[in-house]
Structures are given as structure tokens and as C-alpha cells.
A and B are shown apart, each in its own frame.
Chain A
């Protein structure tokens, strides 16, 4: 891998604007409602990057870049043939073009590895996801300003984590010390604004160490949650009590960088139509509503149990212990009633521990 590089803070905009000529570039920009990832237009990139905000967590994750909230999987049309039969034409719509995602925090980049294990696994590869993933360079920025709802270190991550990233930018006084992590990352750094900076690696390491120390909730460790959470599966009294205030909306799942569930719908108009894939969420009653009318998760307690179970038990059990939560804390800070996933996982671990071995076994 190439050596460590350096770029001045003020040069980031020019680099992004140049890269926008060959890539679709997404970056966190400050707008009237806060910080969100926006697509830079090639012509307007220089002006847009005036609003670049790297010192605050974006309120929405960059999940859309790899898993759009709504994407057309294929287009279809029916046609009447001369012999009276009907023919069906189906055209897949595949993602096109190279993408640079600049400025996610390491937690958001780590979230892509949660998708990779599901959509880019040996058994079944999702052609849409893998096409986007292969075409996307993820350039993360070390997180030096955690939110009070952050807990990445409790779920196996870190503010300088490199999992899921192609490049890691470490902020220093005069700019960024830049470490390419993959060949794809190296390629987008071939630009005259980056200079060789191997001598500053130690400085970057100091920034990372300070960032790790700054994460709130640091002593918590949820990597041991899979067994206790599974043990509470039938403890509906517990799930009802922790979800009493939940409104059962989908804000937590749609703002979650790791929630990857979707729905597929054919939207027809006359003889033509499109097959859409859209985000779906397990907080919704319809998510598990069966054709018979039966619903195995009829209440918000059942549904929230699935949210915790999936992230802290079922997923890690089949993916070598990796949790499907990266500790970004958006589900806490953006929840209309401030459901705190940290407290709930902590309570679950405590309750399972307090139960007698017989009870836990049942």
C-alpha cells in the first residue's frame, strides 16, 4: 500500500471538485436542518463544498449510497402478439458509475461490513448491492468529536476504525493525514494536492488515541450480549416494560446505518411497470404480517425484541460474533421519545445474568 499522505484542510474542496468529474461524490454538508450527506454536482462542487462539515456527526447515515431508500430493480412491459398471446419484456436496471463517499465517520463505514456479510456473501450475492459496493470508494474521517449518544467502542468499533473503509483521513491542525487502505482508495488519492507524509504517522496515531479516549460510554461492552439477549427471548414482561414508551415508528431503523431490510413491490401502470426495492423496517406491523392474517410479531414489544435480537444476538451468532450495531447512537438522538438502546441492551444483559440458570435455560 502506498505511503501515508497529507492534504491541507482548504484543499479538500478542490480535490472533491476534481474527483466529481469522474465519480459521483457524496459528502457531509451543513444545510438548514443540520448535517446530511449530499451528492455533489460536477459543475457546482466547488461551491457546494463550502458547506462541508467534518467535525459533527451527520444526522442521517450514508446508507443510501449503497442501499438506496428506493431503487428500480427492473422494468417490465407486456405486449399483445399477433397470435393473441401476451409477451413479457423484462429489463434489469443496474447501478452505473464510480462513486466516492467522502467523510463518513468510521462507524458508518464499518456499517457497510454488516451489509457485506449479508449481500456479498458466498452463498447469495445481491447483484445490485455488490455492483454499488465494488464501484464505491469509502474515505472515512477519524471521529474526534463524539456525540453524547455515541458508543462505538462498546460494540467492537472505534473512532479510528478502518473496517469497511478504503481510506482513513485523520484530522490534524493544518489538514488531514491520509492513509490509503485499499488499492481503490489509493487510486482516488493520485492527485497533486496530496503530498508524502510518512514522517507524520506518529502525529496521526496521537489524534486517534485521543479520539478513542473521548468516546462516552467507553467502559460498556456489548460484544457479550448475544447469549443473554437470546436467553430473554420468551421474557415478554421484560420486552413490554422496556418498550412501553416506544411509538413503533421507523425512525430508528431508517436512521440506522446497519439496518438493511427491504420490501419489493411491482408498481404497474397499464401494460408497463417497475419492480421497486424500498427500505422496510421491523418496527412496522406489516413487516411480518402473513398472508393468512396471522402476525407472529403483533405488538411493539415483539417487534422491538426483534430489533435488539437481530443486532445483538441472531446476526452475531451467524457472523462470527460481529454485532450488527456500530454504536453511532442516531437511534437514540433522533428517537421521538429517546429510546436508549444502550440502556436496553445493558438491562437485558443484567436481567439474563440475574435469572437463575434454570430460568435462563427455559
Chain B
């Protein structure tokens, strides 16, 4: 795999100047990767690259601010890096970004199900298919089913910010245009208010309040001091009704309005498969409409809710 070798070379060269390089290594099996913290050359032996590299490693950056950090990013992950730089939550001078042409990552729970939870020995993604080899035989899924939803509509397969790029540009295999896949947000928008409320009551009834959605979010920067767990002031009740759990999701989504790059880590990290990304997508849609802005695309731009204009171009207050 030349892309992986080329990345390893670049990391090996940069490593002496860095405290750590964050990449991916093998997890439980060929389907499950895990973040890999490379501090010495032999750690590179464990590095992998491919459709199992689902994690957005930018999540670790705010916690490593005072260190010299290298990070491997997919195109989508790079937007989180940019947003962190925009917000002053990461320092460009301390950061070395390694990019590559990403051909998409998989929806792990869906493939686990397709493999009937058998250990996966190998995984390949090409020609519009994801193929697994399991203990009990091969499993193949069309990429429209096998890939993470965000990959089906991806517009940035390559890092938007990068110090080292592996391989030639423009070589990412793009998901075959499989119609316009309907996401959760589109399904919700087609519902009336009552159905939408029932949808969320049902989904949130599974929530364990583990806050993995928050902890995995690269832009949830309160972390240890989250409003959800503060006892004084007691912002959020401990009652565990679906409404109260949804209340936290509303807080989370509002704090991310105009900041969220829709990397989908909140939804991916959720051990209960609750589609919480849709809430952030809904707000981002409004941000785009009002401010013509997409988070994490321009390191020099100021996020729209970070500054105040007396008159906004698309908000006609005087006409109200």
C-alpha cells in the first residue's frame, strides 16, 4: 500500500522533532481500527490506513496544546483542525499535519451486523463495494450501505490544510453517485411536528447519558466542565426522561452552531446508535443560509457567531 508507506516515511522523518504523532492502528480486527499514538519509530509498525480509520483524531488536539503534535487527517478531519485553529484552540506552530487521499470510511456497526459479529480478517473497498472476509466466509456490501453516510456526499476527500501529503492528489476513489441518499435530517424534515417529536422520544429513550457524543466531539471544548454534569449551578436535571436527554442534545447542538464541521463523531461514538448529528446539521443549514458560511474551511475566517455586525447581509431586521 504505497499511500501508507509514503505516510510512514514522512512521519518517520518528522518524528524526531515531534512529541507524538496521532494516526490509526489495528483494533479488535480488520474492521475495527483504534487511534495510535506514535512516539518512537517502532510504533510505526502498528500503523494502518484504510476504510476502518473512522476516528477524527483532531479530537485529541485541544488536550495536547502545549506539545509538538503530528496528526494524520482525512479531508473531513482537516476541517476540524482548521476550525480549532480559527478558534485559537490549537496552535499552528505546534502542529504538523499529514494528509492523504481518502476513499471513505465504513459504518462499523452496520458492517458488524452484516458480518453477524464474526471476527473480520480482512476488508477491501474498491469498485463500489466493501468486501469483508470473516471466520465464516466472505461478506460484500455496496458502498452506499457500507460507507459512513458522510462519505457518500463528501466534497473534501483530501485535507484542506496539510504539511505532508501522501501520494498524488486527486486519486481518492469517490463513492459512486448512488442517487441522493436520504439522511436522517431529510427524513425528519418530511415529518410533521408530532411525528418528529415521537421520533426523538423513541431515539433518546435509549440514551445512557455516557456523553460519548460530547467527549468524541473535536469542538466540544468544555469537556470536564460540561453544563450537563455541573451540580452547581444545576443546569440540567438528573431525571432521565427522553425530553431531558434531548435537552442536553439541544444544548450540545446550539453550542456547535456555526462551528460543527459535521464530522459525525458524536453519532459514531454513541454506543446506542442515536442519530444526534441531524440536530447539528439542521443548525448548520441555518448558519449557511444566514451567513453563507461553512465551518472549518478557511483558517483565516472568523466563525459567524464569534463576531457581531450591526447589520447582517442576510438578516433583514429592519424589515421585520
Contact = CB atoms under 8 A, between A and B. Distances in A.
Which of the listed residues B119, B215, B273 has the most CB atoms from chain A within 10 Å of its own CB? B215
Contacts of A70: 238-240
Nearest to B34: A338
A338 B32 contact: yes
Interface in A230-255: 241, 244-245, 247-251, 253-255
B34 A337 contact: yes
A254 B208 contact: yes
A196 interface: no
A340 B109 CA distance: 18
Contact of A286 (B209, B231, B273): B231
Contacts of B237: 265, 267
Give the interface size class of chain A.
35 or more
Contact of A265 (B33, B119, B216, B238): B238
A336 B209 CA distance: 14
Interface residues of B, number: 43
Interface of B is mostly: loop
Given A56-B117, A245-B37, A263-B238, A251 B212 contact: yes
A34 interface: yes
B28 A247 contact: no
B86 to A, nearest CB: 23
A357 B15 CA distance: 34
Contact of A33 (B36, B59, B238, B273): B273
B29 interface: yes
A151 to B, nearest CB: 12
A245 B214 CA distance: 15
B149 to A, nearest CB: 16
B206 interface: yes
B28 A249 contact: no
Nearest to B217: A247
Given A249-B215, A249-B216, A255 B238 contact: no
Given A250-B211, A338-B34, A33 B206 contact: yes
A48 interface: no
A8 interface: no
B208 A251 contact: yes
Given A247-B212, A247-B215, A338-B27, A286 B238 contact: no
B55 interface: yes
A255 B208 contact: yes
Nearest to A252: B210
B138 interface: no
Nearest to A269: B237
A340 B35 CA distance: 12
B113 A254 contact: no
Contacts of A265: 231, 234, 237-238
A70 B242 CA distance: 12
Contacts of B89: none
Which of the listed residues A241, A249, A279 has the most CB atoms from chain B within 10 Å of its own CB? A249
Interface in B207-265: 208-212, 214-216, 223-225, 229-231, 234, 237-240, 265
A59 B274 CA distance: 14
A69 B208 contact: yes
Contacts of A34: 109, 113, 273
B224 to A, nearest CB: 4
Contact of A276 (B214, B223, B238): B238
B208 A337 contact: no
- 6 nearest A-B pairs in the assembled complex, by CB-CB distance: A285-B224, A336-B269, A249-B215, A70-B240, A250-B210, A249-B212
8 contacts: A33-B273, A56-B117, A249-B211, A249-B216, A254-B209, A255-B208, A267-B237, A286-B231
Interface of A: 33-34, 36, 56, 59-60, 69-70, 147-149, 241, 244-245, 247-251, 253-255, 263, 265, 267, 276, 278-279, 281, 284-286, 332-334, 336-340
Given A34-B109, A244-B35, A245-B35, 6 more contacts: A69-B208, A245-B34, A247-B59, A254-B208, A336-B271, A340-B34
